[in-house]
Each structure stands twice: as structure tokens, then as C-alpha cells.
Structure 1
Amino acid sequence: MTGRAIWKGHLSVGELSCGIALYSAATTSERISFHYVNRKSGNRLRREFVDEETGKPVERDDQVKGYETAKDTYVVLEPDDIAGAVPKGDKTLEICEFIACDDVDTVYFDKPYFLKPADEADEEAFALIREGMRRKKVAALARAVLFRRVRSMLIRPRGCGLLGHTLHFDYEVRSADEAFDDLPDVTIKGEMRSLAKHIIETKTGSFDPAAFDDRYDAALAELVKAKAEGREIPKPKREDKGKVVDLMEALRESAAAADKQKTAGKKRGAKRAAPQGRKAG
């Protein structure tokens, strides 16, 4: 199940077009969430906007958005003003060009979405676009008015459907050169370099999302369960402050541990693969 479509429109490339539906490919709805409540009464709290100077609540009709041009000076924008600035869309996700699948730096990726045909009549045209992209090993750059803004989307084949990522605008992405400009250019040589290479080689694997668990969410779920059952909550242990270690010694220990882990993994694999002996007839 892909849930409910959050947008419907048309995917077009040149004169070819098909109806599509957009679905969220990731969700945080399964995470533990909380409400604010009154500790004394146990009643749920509600938020209220108050005037910063008078401290009095402001009715919804009197709440408007303002852009600060100087300290405590605002340009007030009415709802109609903002609505007028929203670009008009025609519900078309238009493919502007096809590019290599790895042309876009992942730092530009925003949110993932699944694209499916809107109905059976659109399945053939949808499949034609998808398979054409798959055979040429390309991705599509498309644009549409999504969620009140003109958005760019990178679209790639995924199974029987398409996977799209909305993209950050260039001004939203910070410069890596500026972020790292104060880091020295350190050259690693000799045994230290060899040990680092060895550790990487022994720990080389593949990405398995199921192997990564949300420990914080699991801990919160257990905490809520314990509280609801009236069990005593154990106090968290204080972690000792990290000790200053010799980098070379740490690398040697890490390499030894990696070798040990790799050897144990091979033994487990061999044991599972060993054929079972037949019983005498």
C-alpha cells in the first residue's frame, strides 16, 4: 500500500503525456510523538498567540504575517497578498531534460516521492516513459508547481514505477568549500595509511536499511510502556569522559578487532553452509 495520493496531475515530455499520482515515499508517522499536558490536571494544552507588548491573546482574524525590515519594524502581508504571489500551476510535471542518473549531487535531494499512473488508461504511456529512461540509463529533470512553489524534481525508474526527489534550490545549499575552508590539508603516510586502508577493506559491505534501528524511538516506546505499567524507570548511567588515545595505537586495535570480526563471520558462514550428514539406511 502506498497510502493516499498527495498530488495528481500529468507527467509530460514533449507531446507525450500521462496522468500520474504522487505519493510520499518516506514518513515519520510511526515515530513516537507527544502532546503537551498540564502536569497538575493532566489536561492537554493548546497553543495561543499573544501580543508581545500587551501579553493579551490575538484573535485568528487579526493574525497576519510580517517581514522584519529592521528591528521591530515589519512589512505586513495580508493573506490575499501572499496568495497572489503563489505561482499558478496547470497540474503538469514537465520533463525539461534527461541527464545521467548520478549528475545531481545528493546534497540537493529534498524529499522522496513515488510516482504511479493515475489510472489504467495511463499505464501504457507511463510504462513507455519509464522503460525508455531505464534502457538509456538516464534520469529526468522535471518542474511543476508543487505545494505552492515551483519545484524541480529528479525522476528515476524504480521497479514498476518512478521515484522522484524534489530538489533544493541552489541558494538553499551551503558551499562545501566554505564549510571546510578552515581544515588543514593533512597527508597520511606509512603504517597509519596502511592500517586505515586495511580496516576499510575488512569492513567493506553493502547498505541494508533494516540493519539500522532507531534506538531513541525504541527507548521512548519502552519508557512509555514502563510508565503506563507503573514500573520503576532505571536511571541512565553516566558515560565516562573519553580518554585521550594514541591515534596509531587506536588504529592497530581497530585493525585487530576488524580481523577478528571478519574471521568469526567466515566461520559462521562455513558452519551454515556445511552439508548435513545422511542417516544410515
Structure 2
Amino acid sequence: MALRATWKGHIKLAELTFPVALYAGATTSKRVSFHVLNRKTGHRVHRQYIDEQTEKPVEKEEQVKGYEIDDDRFVILEPDEIAEAVPESDKTLRIEAFIDCPQVDTVYFDKPYFIAPSGSIATDPFSLLREGMRRKKVAALARAVLFRRVRTVMLRAQGPGLVAHTLNFYYEVRSAEEVFKDIPEIKIEGEMLDLAKHIIDTKKGEFNPRDFDDRYDEALAELVKAKMEGREIKAPKRPKEEKVTSLLEALRQSAGATKAKPPAPSKRRKASSEKRRKAS
């Protein structure tokens, strides 16, 4: 079954315009999902909007959006007023700048998409843009109305196509400095640092998304299967937690668990140990 495009439009770079299709780069459709049921009847239940004062259901045609300006004071917005205020999409991704990829902090990344040429007429200009970006090792910043909002989109060359990320707005990203401001400056050196570097070296690997499984979804799928088959549901064994008296001891135990030769003491620590031995 062919993938369905979530958006179709054009990429515009200066006077160059060509049609493209946008495809969702990630999906949650394979996750285990549930319906809410009435325990007594087994029937599905549905949500209702209830008036908090009268406690009566409010039908869909009577529901409007309201912006709270004070306690229990709202500005009411009708659906047609909201529709008129939303920027109208001309289905165009306008490239405004080319940047070095590392300039964009990953905290700004929102949702991933794939972009492909739409129709044979777009193949040549699409390939030209992709190869130009690849050779110059740059990403493109574009603007478009996507899903009723003006969004900034970062495009990068990937294989024969382009991968895109919608970017969070600056006011949506929290300040890292504000979060980290209370972390004290601690000087780490000596055996602890050597052990930490040793553990990192023995744990080096490469990123392969297939290596990471969704244990929550797998556990739910197994639970559903067991109930369907009438099997006894056994709770998984919890790993035994061992108390560690200090950070240094925890590092020593971790280094030993790697089954690799622990790091040799650094020359500086060796010399200081020799000095202390002679002094005593």
C-alpha cells in the first residue's frame, strides 16, 4: 500500500518553483491502543462536554472557544472568526536561508517529515536543490502554513530525498540556563574520572534504532495475548537493587562489571602516591 502524503504543495527558491509531497516521518499507529469501555456492559463509552454550572451536556453546535482574560471572564470566538484570523495557505514552502546544520539546537526539532518530488516535472529541480545542499553541507530554512499554522521548517538532504523537521518557536523552548543554574561547579579528577572514562570507552557503540525496543508496548501486547488465551499472567521479576556506599565504589563496581581491565593509574596520581609513600 502506497504511503499517503500528509501535505502537497511547492518548494520555492527565488524564481525556482516545483511541486513536492510531504510525508509523516514517524507514526504511532503500531503502538498498542485501548478503548474505554463500560465495565458492566462491555460497551464503548464516549466523552461529553458538561456545563460546569448546570452540569448538563452541551451539544457540539452550542460549543464555542473562549480566551480567558480574568477569573471566569472570557472573550468568545466564533468558528468563522477563528477561520478568518488563521493565515491562508498558498501551499508553498518558501526557502529563506541556507545554514550549517549544527547551528540548530536539537531542542528546536518538532516533528519529522520526508519530502519527495511530486510528479516527473519536479524531479530535475528537486534533485538540483538536494545535490546543491549536499555538496555545500547546508540545511535550508523555509516557511509555510502547515496544518493551519505558520511554521518554520528545516530541510536536509538525505539519500535521494529531503528530510524535514518543523521547528519549535523560540518561546516554546525553555531556557537551558534557567534549568541548569542551580547545578554546582564540581571539579572531577583522579581515579573517579579515570574510571568514568574507562566505562565510557568499554560501552562505545553505534546508533541503530532497531536495537531499542518499546518494552511498554511489548508488555501490553503480551498481556492482551495472555488474557485472550486464558493463560496465567505472571508479574515480571524486578531486578534486585544493591546498595552502594559511595560514588567511587559504584564506579569501581561498574568498571568491574564490564569484564575489562580497569584503567591504570595516571602518571600524576602514581607520582603523588610515591611521594606519600616516601614521606611516611
Scaled by the length of structure 2, what TM-score is found? 0.90
SS in 2 for 1:231: coil
Give how far 1:243 is off: 3.0
Q: Is 2:120 the counterpart of 1:131?
A: no
Equivalent in the alignment of 1:231: 231
Equivalent in the alignment of 2:190: 190
Q: Deviations over 1:74-101 (max 9, x none)?
A: 1111101111111122111011010112
Equivalent in the alignment of 1:48: 48
**Counterparts of 1:31-110 in structure 2 under 5 Å?**
31-110=31-110
Taking the aligned partners of 1:32 and 1:103, their CA distance within structure 2 comes to: 37
Taking the aligned partners of 1:141 and 1:93, their CA distance within structure 2 comes to: 9
Q: Deviations over 1:45-103 (max 9, x none)?
A: 01111111111111111001111112222111110111111112211101101011211
Number of residue-to-residue matches in the alignment = 262
Q: Which amino acid aligns with 2:100?
A: A
User: Closer, same or farther in 2 for the Cα pair 1:187/1:204, shift >3 Å?
Assistant: same
Equivalent in the alignment of 2:245: 245
SS in 2 for 1:129: helix
Give how far 1:261 is off: 10
Equivalent in the alignment of 1:149: 149
Contact 1:202 1:259 (C-alpha < 8 Å) held by counterparts: no
Unaligned runs of 5+ in 1: 263-281
Q: Which amino acid aligns with 2:124?
A: E
SS in 2 for 1:107: helix
Contact 1:199 1:258 (C-alpha < 8 Å) held by counterparts: yes
Which of 226-235 and 201-210 deviates more?
Answer: 226-235
Taking the aligned partners of 1:142 and 1:39, their CA distance within structure 2 comes to: 50
Percent identity of paired positions between Structure 1 and Structure 2: 61
Taking the aligned partners of 1:238 and 1:6, their CA distance within structure 2 comes to: 43
Contact 2:202 2:260 (C-alpha < 8 Å) held by counterparts: no
Taking the aligned partners of 1:63 and 1:245, their CA distance within structure 2 comes to: 60
Please report the RMSD computed on the Cα atoms of aligned residues, expressed in angstroms: 1.7
**Counterparts of 1:170-209 in structure 2 under 5 Å?**
170-209=170-209
Contact 2:244 2:250 (C-alpha < 8 Å) held by counterparts: no
Give how far 1:194 is off: 0.7
Q: Which amino acid aligns with 2:104?
A: V
Unaligned runs of 5+ in 2: 263-280
Contact 1:139 1:155 (C-alpha < 8 Å) held by counterparts: yes
Equivalent in the alignment of 2:271: none
User: Closer, same or farther in 2 for the Cα pair 1:252/1:244, shift >3 Å?
Assistant: closer
Contact 1:8 1:91 (C-alpha < 8 Å) held by counterparts: yes
Taking the aligned partners of 1:142 and 1:81, their CA distance within structure 2 comes to: 28
Equivalent in the alignment of 2:6: 6
Equivalent in the alignment of 2:270: none
Scaled by the length of structure 1, what TM-score is found? 0.89
Taking the aligned partners of 1:174 and 1:104, their CA distance within structure 2 comes to: 15
Q: Which amino acid aligns with 1:75?
A: V
Q: Which amino acid aligns with 1:60?
A: K
User: Closer, same or farther in 2 for the Cα pair 1:240/1:253, shift >3 Å?
Assistant: closer
Equivalent in the alignment of 1:19: 19
